[in-house]
Structure 1
Amino acid sequence: MNNNKNFFANVVTEMKKVSWPTGQETAKYTVIVMLTVIFFLAFFYLVDLGISQIIEFMQ
């Protein structure tokens, strides 16, 4: 039981050292992630269309 108390005390100590992002930073990072996902979605959709057209053309 003593190990559990030490563990949780250490967790609390380490969490106090964490540098949390501000709300504005979180919003900015969220937008960046969403734009990146949309970009790759469009890219792979176009690649898939191209490969499908090539395969269809070869038949």
Structure 2
Amino acid sequence: MNNDRNFLSNVVSEMKKVSWPTGKEVVNYTMIVVFTVIFFLFFFYAIDLGITYLIEVL
């Protein structure tokens, strides 16, 4: 039981050292992820259409 308390106190101690992002940073990072996902969605969709077209032509 002593190890559990020691572990939890260490977790709390380490969590106090974490530098959390601000709300504005979270929004910026989220937008970057969303735009990157959308870009790759269209990119791979275009590649898929091109490969499908090539297979149908041949």
Bin of the TM-score, shorter chain as denominator length: over 0.9
Instruction: Using the aligned pairs only, state the percent identity.
Output: 66
Which ranges of structure 1 fall in alignment gaps of 5 or more residues? Answer: none
Which structure 2 residues correspond to residues 18-33 of structure 1 after superposition, within 5 A?
Answer: 18-33=18-33
Aligned residues: 58
The structure 1 segments of at least 4 consecutive aligned residues displaced by more than 2 Å after TM superposition are: none
Q: Which residue identity does 1:12 align to in structure 2?
A: V
3-state SS of 1:19 partner: coil
1 CA distance for matches of 2:2 and 2:42? 54
Q: Residue in 2 aligned with 1:2?
A: 2
Which ranges of structure 2 fall in alignment gaps of 5 or more residues? Answer: none
Q: Which residue identity does 1:2 align to in structure 2?
A: N
1 CA distance for matches of 2:57 and 2:14? 60
Q: What TM-score, normalized by structure 1, do the two folds share? A: 0.97
2 CA distance for matches of 1:45 and 1:22? 35
